Amino acid sequence: MNDKPREDEHTPPATNSETETSSLSRRKFLGNAALLGLSGAGLAAGLVGCKESAQAPAAGGAPASTPAHEAGGLSYEIKPGQLDEYYGLWSGGHSGEVRVLGVPSGREIKRIPVFNRDALTGWGLTNESKQVIGTREDGSLRYDTGDTHHVHASYNDGTYDGKYAWVNDKLHSRLARIRLDTMECDKITELPNAQGFHGIFPDKRDPVDAAVNHTTRVFCGSEFALPHPNDGNDMDDPEKYYSLFTCVDAESMAVRWQCRVDGNMDLVASAYDGKLAASNQYNTENGMIYADMMSAERDACVFFNIERIEAAIKAGKFTKLPNADVPIVDGRKAANPDPKTALTCYVPVPKNPHGVNASPDGKYFICSGKLSPTASVIELTKVHDWFAGTLDDPRKAVVGEPEIGLGPLHTLFDGRGNAYTTLFLDSQIVKWNIEASIKAFAGDKTAQPVVDRIDVHYQPGHLNASMAETREADGKWLVVGCKFSKDRYLPVGPLHPENEVLIDISGDKMKTVHESPVWPEPHDFIVVRRDVIKTRQIYDMGEFPNAVTDPAQSKVERNGKKVTVYLTSMAPAYSLTEFKVKQGDEVTIILTNHDKVEDLSHGFGLPKYNINFIVNPQETRSVTFKADKPGVYWYYCTHFCHALHLEMRGRMMVERA
Ligand code: RUQ
Ligand code: CUA
Ligand code: CA
């Protein structure tokens, strides 16, 4: 995103609500052809369609938007030497990493390796990182692939506290935690009994103890149903398949409990009162193939009553599966006939919803229709009423359902009562007013929910706005992750980058100010005010139990065939310029960096032994390998540290056995 600003090329289509409503009504629900179009060839057709719509705005289109600096627009230009106003925490998709961007500039500042191997930091190679990721019996990584989707950060008092961020791995159902002071992953938990772990959201306070006003749990949904236990039995019996919602302890990262549901779970949101978490369900049909998953006109947003679930577990009302010591409660409808004791509430929403997001005023959850051109506004007090037994029909918790456009996916907020939803099929962002949608739903013909819409290129999935998932939503910047860039950049062969769009939402009308290509697929991101995150400058040597605290301790220690090399670094030298081991030894190198200056990191590369990692100031890292090749191997500093960086090296001599 650090290239020159572009002229905003598009012309926003009409915002005339009459035209809009009637054309949407004609399209009401997508026909079967369009539904099938969500896969394969149909998607390609959708892409063509979106290009046309971008070039031929609806009749009555407003003039091209004014430059960002006019009419009170925000300036996104960050001059050389200036710092961004926000941290963006970006999921890295297939890469398995998390990326740190500056917003609004879009400059990528850091990559945090999580589920991947990383050649710079040695993540996935050092003993310490392997322990976090998890290893097999032979010492190899348990997994070195991942599929990160959603990044969310810890809360205190309804806003970010800068302590942690979490990211999910949909591929192997893992939840990773990143400490935001060092921006490094410190724990990974693999969820039992789950596949297709997709949505995550930290809680925002304790449901029972009002004094605990910060994140203590992380909720995890899972999309794919399995026959439990998943041990090769019952694979052909659809009756045996079900999914589990998982609660992980934010501090220990241990799995606290799981809750069985009807249907599946996609995205997750948590309420500001800490009492409710919810997940949108697109497969209440429990279908195994997608035609079955689309048969019902309505699916659901399932709400979890956290206090009741935890009380049930305390009272011993749970079961366990043989493969994990985790209490499981039953949240199926049939197991919860009485709302006054129910653990879950299924709020019906239109067809295959996607995305559920909590409005910053704490009042509503918004579920997007995906296959319905609507977003459903669910009032949380009404969900509480249902749990209290005073609302007869959970559908009555839906207080608004504006028609907003085709393929609505995710919704974020500006803190001024407006919602912004991505329209995947229309390739647009639609801005709509929540209170107006509630009035319209109640029958007020004068209420016009849709405020503005703007084209994006192309097929947007997630979006997020500055601080939008906190009660400090400030309504300045909206970032949109588009799944296809198509013709926006120089062609680079069959695989194209994705496209990210920066939109100024500070005024009445949205203004696109910038776009940039991104390596697929960032998927989701949060935009955090920079003062929230307080990073450390260097490590504390005492944090590492294996630290070589004194360069004078540098030595080779032999214990049978196991050899430990204690090594330190200080620019521009290692404490040992040579060491000897024997062919066949299992060698562990422990390296402590004694430099104290911020960013004075050293590398350790060992040729032919597939080793490369860095040590940051006052940090200790270690690697273990088998010295199976005799000869001289020059270890050298792989990270530019000093004018004599090239001279920073030494010899590992492996004596022939
Ligand atoms: S989901 S494009 Cu993995 Cu975040 Cu909605
Ligand atoms: Cu030490 Cu380069
Ligand atoms: Ca469905």
How crowded is residue 319: how many other Cβ atoms within 10 Å of its Cβ?
A: 10
Ligand with the closest atom to the CA of 269? 1
Contact by Cβ (8 Å): 458, 482: yes
Q: How far is the CA of 287 from the centre of ligand 3 (A)?
A: 8
The answer, yes or no, to whether residue 89 has pLDDT greater than 60, is yes
The two three-digit tokens of residue 279, written as one number: 């997940």
| Residue 429 in this model has a pLDDT that exceeds 60 | yes
Ligand 1 pocket check for 152: Cβ under 6 Å:
no
Q: Ligand 1 centre and the CA of 580: distance in Å?
A: 52
Ligand 1 atom at minimal distance to the Cα of residue 410: 5
DSSP, collapsed to helix, strand or coil, labels residue 283 as coil
198 lines ligand 1 (CB under 6 A): yes
CA of 443 to the centre of ligand 3 (A): 28
**What pLDDT does residue 42 have?**
36
Q: How far apart are alpha carbons 654 and 657 in whole angstroms?
A: 9
Over range 85-92, report the average pLDDT.
Answer: 97
The residue to which tokens 């997940």 are assigned = 279
pLDDT at 28: 52
Torsion angle, alpha carbons of 269, 272, 274, 277, to 10: -20
**CA 381 / ligand 1 centre spacing (Å):** 27
Whether the CB of 200 sits within 6 Å of ligand 2 = no
Segment 599-605 shows an average pLDDT of: 98
Q: Per residue in 280-332, pLDDT tens?
A: 999 988 888 888 888 888 999 999 999 999 999 999 999 999 999 999 999 99
CB atoms within 10 A of CB 396: 14
- Ligand 1 atom, smallest distance to 266 CA: 1
Task: Look at ligand 2, atom 1, and give the residue with the nearest C-alpha.
Answer: 602
**Atom of ligand 2 at shortest distance to CA of 648?**
1
Q: Which residues pair with 111 in a beta bridge?
A: 99
- What number does the ligand 1 atom closest to the CA of 409 have? 5
Distance CA 465, CA 414 (A): 7
Ligand 2 site, residue 602, Cβ cutoff 6 A: yes
CA 29 to ligand 3 center in whole angstroms: 13
Centroid of ligand 1 to alpha carbon of 462 (angstroms): 6
Structural element, H or E, at residue 21 = helix 17-27
Give the closest ligand to the alpha carbon of residue 647.
2
**CA distance linking residue 169 with residue 199, whole number of Å:** 10
Whether the pLDDT of residue 21 is over 60: the answer is no
pLDDT-based confidence at residue 184 (cuts at 50, 70, 90): very high
Smallest CA-to-CA distance from 441 within 488, 491, 397 is with 397
pLDDT at 20 over 60: no
- Cβ-based neighbours of 441, under 8 Å, separated by 6 or more: 377, 398, 399, 400, 401, 402
State both tokens at 171. 């591929």
Q: How far apart are CA 157 and CA 206, in angstroms?
A: 11
| For range 527-547, the mean pLDDT | 97
What integer pLDDT is reported at residue 309 of this predicted model? 98
Sequence-separated contacts (24+) of 229-238 with Cβ below 8 Å: 229/193, 229/321, 229/322, 229/323, 230/193, 231/323, 238/286, 238/288
pLDDT at position 295, please?
87
pTM, two decimals, is 0.90
- What is the SS3 assignment for 389? coil
CA-637 nearest atom, ligand 2:
2
Report the pLDDT value the prediction gives residue 72, as an integer from 0 to 100: 55
User: Using H for helix, E for strand and C for coil, what is the string for 287-309?
Assistant: CCCHHHHCCCCEEEEEEEEHHHH
Question: Which of residues 593 and 18 earns the better pLDDT score?
Answer: 593
| pLDDT average, residue stretch 179-195 | 98
Q: Are 459 and 483 in contact (CB under 8 A)?
A: yes
Which domains occur in the chain, in start order? Answer: 7-55 (no CATH), 541-655 (2.60.40.420)
Q: What DSSP character marks residue 336?
A: -
Q: Please give the single-letter amino acid code of residue 180.
A: L
Separation of CA 36 and ligand 3 centre (Å): 13
Identify the three-state secondary structure at position 279: strand
Ligand 2: atom nearest CA of 645 is 2
pLDDT over 70 (residue 66): no
% residues pLDDT > 90 (the chain): 85
Atom of ligand 1 nearest to the CA of 462: 2
Q: What is the pLDDT of residues 232-256, one digit of tens each?
A: 999 999 889 999 999 999 999 999 9
Going by the DSSP 8-state scheme, the letter that residue 133 receives in this structure is H
Ligand 1 centre distance from Cα of residue 368 (Å): 12
Ligand 1 site, residue 469, Cβ cutoff 6 A: no
Q: Is 132 exposed, middle or buried (0-12, 13-18, 19+ CB in 10 A)?
A: middle
Q: Return the best residue to mutate from 267, 366, 498 for the ligand 1 pocket (most ligand atoms within 8 A of CB).
A: 267
5 or 197, higher pLDDT:
197
Residue 77: which pLDDT band, with cuts at 50, 70 and 90? confident
| Residue 591, ligand 2, Cβ within 6 A | no
Query: CA–CA distance from 553 to each of 127, 179, 372, 569, 617 (Å)?
Result: 21, 31, 68, 12, 18
Burial (Cβ within 10 Å: 0-12, 13-18, ≥19) of residue 430: buried
Q: Whose CA is nearest to atom 2 of ligand 1?
A: 461
For residue 409 and ligand 1, the question of a CB distance below 6 A is answered with: yes
- Please list the residues that pair with 136 across neighbouring strands: none
Indicate which residue's Cα is closest to atom 3 of ligand 1: 149
Phi-psi region of 337 (alpha: psi -120 to 50; beta: other; left: phi over 0): alpha
pLDDT at 51 exceeding the cut of 50: no
Structure tokens at 588: 């562990």
CA 618 to ligand 1 centroid distance, Å: 39
Q: What is the pLDDT of residue 50?
A: 37
The residue type at 276: L
Could you read off the pLDDT of 440-493 as tens digits, one per residue?
A: 999 999 999 999 999 999 999 999 999 999 999 999 999 999 999 999 999 999
Q: How far is CA 322 from CA 237, 239, 450, in A?
A: 19, 19, 51
**Which ligand 1 atom sits closest to the C-alpha of 149?**
3
Cβ-count burial of 458 within 10 angstroms (0-12 exposed, 13-18 middle, 19+ buried)? Answer: buried
CB atoms within 10 A of CB 147: 21
Q: Which atom of ligand 1 is nearest to the CA of 461?
A: 2
- 29 — pLDDT class (breaks 50, 70, 90): very low
Tokens of 525: 């991101």
Place of tokens 């693999």: 190
Strands 555-559 and 562-570: antiparallel
Q: Tell whether the model's pLDDT for residue 43 goes beyond 50.
A: no
Does the Cβ of 370 fall within 6 Å of ligand 1?
no
Supply the DSSP symbol for 267: -
* Ligand 1 lined by 523 (C-beta under 6 Å): yes
φ, ψ of residue 477 in degrees (nearest 5): -115, 135
Does 594 sit in the ligand 2 pocket, CB within 6 Å?
no
Shortest-distance atom of ligand 2 to CA 572:
1
Q: What percent of the chain has pLDDT over 70?
A: 89
For residues 403 and 385, what is the distance between their CA atoms, to the nearest angstrom? 26
Report whether residue 167 contacts ligand 1, using a CB cutoff of 6 Å.
Answer: no
The ligand that comes nearest to the alpha carbon of residue 171 is 1
Q: What is the DSSP string of 153-197?
A: EEEETTEEEEEEEEEEETTTTEEEEEETTTTEEEEEEEPTT-EEE
User: Does ligand 1 lie within 6 Å of residue 260's CB atom?
Assistant: no
Ligand 2 atom nearest to CA at 646: 2
Cα-to-centroid distance, 199 and ligand 1 (Å): 8
Question: How many angstroms is it from 225 CA to the middle of ligand 3?
Answer: 14
524 Cβ inside 6 Å of ligand 1 = yes
1 vs 500: CA distance, rounded Å: 8
Q: Which ligand is nearest to the CA of 603?
A: 2
- Ligand 3 center from residue 281 Cα (angstroms): 7
What is the C-alpha to C-alpha distance for residues 101 and 96, in angstroms, rounded to an integer? Answer: 16
Centre of ligand 1 to C-alpha 90, Å, is 13
For residue range 356-378, list pLDDT tens digits in order: 999 999 999 999 999 999 999 99
For the CA of 642, the nearest atom of ligand 2: 2
Q: What is the mean pLDDT of the chain?
A: 90
pLDDT in tens, 116-140: 999 999 999 999 999 999 999 999 9
Burial 77-100 (b: 16+ CB within 10 A, else e): ebeeeeebbbbbbbbbbbbbbbbb
Burial grade of 417 (CB within 10 A; 0-12, 13-18, 19 or more): middle
Give 654's pLDDT tier (boundaries 50, 70, 90). very high
> Residue 439 pLDDT > 60, yes or no?
yes
- CA of 621 from ligand 3 middle (Å) equals 49
SS3 category, 573: strand
